[in-house]
Amino acid sequence: MWKSAERDSLCCFISVVDSPPEPGSGPLSGLVFGVKDNIDVEGFTTTLGSLLGDPLPQAESAEVVRSVEDLGAVCLGKQNLGELATDAYTMNPHFGTTLNPWDTKRIVGGSSGGSAAAIAAGIVDFAFGSDSGGSVRIPASMCGIAAFRPSQSARWQKGLVGGAWSIDSIGLMGPTLSDLHWLVRQAHLLPLSSSGSSEPLRVGVVMDGSMGAVRSDVADVFDVAVRRLKEDPRLRIEKLRLGGLELGVLVAAVIAYVDLGAQHADTIRSQPQKYGAPARHIFRIGNLFSGTDYVTAGRMRQLIIDRYLEAASGFDLVVTPTLPVTAPVIGEDPVVPGDDSQLGLFSLIRFTALANLTGVPSASIPIGLSDDGLPVGLQVMGHRHRDMRMLAAAEIIEEAVGQHLLPPIYTG
């Protein structure tokens, strides 16, 4: 598993163990994992991908990280991220740009980009990232791996440093959703639930443009997956329109920017030189919003929650594309032909931010390659605090349409 040359060339890690780790003992013995460097791990510093992190090694690991360590899994190192987890590209001005294993001229997505790249390249077996608008699901989709973001809960936030507290959570990433479901069960990361009904799962598929435009070749891959889902007797597929949620990305942005701006209000004024230009810009924007703006965003969030819950109430799962595009070339913004919104970066969170605003569990599953030979992901959303049921149901989706994708750097 020790592939230092691949690690260095992709810029996946900020810090690593001094030598190849010895396997632990327990049911996860032999597995190595990485942790996004805004999550605490005993013995490692937590840099936050910035010049502002704690320079001292942490005394204890985040609770969910400790759970897998106690069962024998070994942390290989702390992984690169967008500075202070503020971008969806993982173009870090202090620790470098993480490169996509599928095409090193392209971004890896973010902000948990180092984690996704390391899994796709076969350097680690799984990884912990964080997700306040899609930050595990976006890079998972771009790298052809799976990711899971749980319902909002204290356990999955403990040990997560510096995030947008009201919408952020630790998430889990691995080659397939089946791998992640197995890991969650082994490590008891979530409460076990009773088995669901033997009736076919009712799946609402958003395929009418009600959440915005999708690039045509990405839509083609998604449509093929939906046709295959319709052929599975375990599933009952119905169209679902989620109209009225189009402003969700902007609501998520206001909430995240204000949360983050409040945390950095003093240091952005006293030590602006410690921030890279993109992060500095975001935090200054966050401090421009008024209390009225924040309260209004909170009210709009509740309206979005109510509308989503009403639309999804009759379904076991809701399915969307994870992203409207594949990984853009480094330095280029994501572009969806025919999209009049001109949201640029926010196009990447068009589908994913909904789970953060509503607090429902969600996952991304790789389903194939687009015309440019890059991975496409399918997003699955469940019901709040029914995470294990969602994982079991999403595994059926994966069995029906998921693909185990291997990038060129792995296959040679």
Rounded Cα gap, residues 42 and 37, in angstroms: 12
For the segment 165-186, the average pLDDT, to the nearest whole number, is 96
Q: What is the mean pLDDT of the chain?
A: 91
Give the integer Cα–Cα distance in Å for 146 and 353: 17
Can you tell me the mean pLDDT for 280-286? 88
**Euclidean distance between CA atoms 305 and 292, whole angstroms:** 20
Q: In what order do the strands lie in the sheet with 375-381?
A: 13-16, 74-79, 32-36, 126-130, 170-174, 146-149, 362-369, 375-381, 317-321, 201-205, 235-239
340 compared with 251, residue with greater pLDDT: 251
Q: 102-122, pLDDT tens digit by residue?
A: 999 999 999 999 999 999 999
Alpha-carbon Rg for the chain, nearest whole angstrom, is 20
- The mean pLDDT of 47-61, rounded to a whole number, is 94
Q: What is the mean pLDDT of residues 266-290?
A: 90
Please tell me the predicted confidence (pLDDT) of residue 274. 92
Per-residue model confidence (pLDDT) at position 25? 85
- pLDDT tens readout for residues 13-35: 999 998 767 777 899 999 999 99
Question: Does residue 196 surpass a pLDDT of 80?
Answer: no
The pTM of the full predicted model, rounded to 2 decimals, is: 0.95
Q: Give the mean model confidence (pLDDT) for residues 359-369.
A: 98
Task: Give the confidence band of 7 by pLDDT, cuts at 50, 70, 90.
Answer: very low
Q: What residue type is assigned to position 44 of the chain?
A: F
Question: For the segment 220-243, what is each residue's pLDDT rounded down to a tens digit?
Answer: 999 999 999 999 999 999 999 887
Q: What percent of the chain has pLDDT over 70?
A: 94
Question: What are the Cα distances from residue 148, in Å, to 32, 58, 344?
Answer: 18, 25, 25
Share of the chain above pLDDT 90, in %: 75
Q: Is 32 exposed, middle or buried (0-12, 13-18, 19+ CB in 10 A)?
A: buried
Higher pLDDT, 330 or 338: 330
Predicted confidence (pLDDT) at residue 346 exceeds the cutoff of 90: no
pLDDT at 304: 93
User: What are the start-end ranges of the H helices in 30-157?
Assistant: 63-69, 113-120, 137-143
> Could you say which DSSP state residue 332 is in?
-
Distance CA 290, CA 86 (A): 20
**Mean pLDDT calculated for residue range 249-263:** 90
Tell whether the model's pLDDT for residue 157 goes beyond 70.
Answer: yes
Which of the four pLDDT bands, split at 50, 70 and 90, describes residue 2? Answer: very low
Give the mean pLDDT of 138-162.
Answer: 96
DSSP 39: B
User: What is the DSSP pairing of strand 32-36 with strand 74-79?
Assistant: parallel
Q: Which tokens hold the place of 165?
A: 């507290």
DSSP structure string for 140-194: HHHHT-EEEEPPS-STTTTTB-SS-TTT--EEEEES-HHHHHHHHHHHT-S----
Q: Which residues are 174's β-sheet partners?
A: 146
Pair 46, 39: CB distance under 8 Å? yes
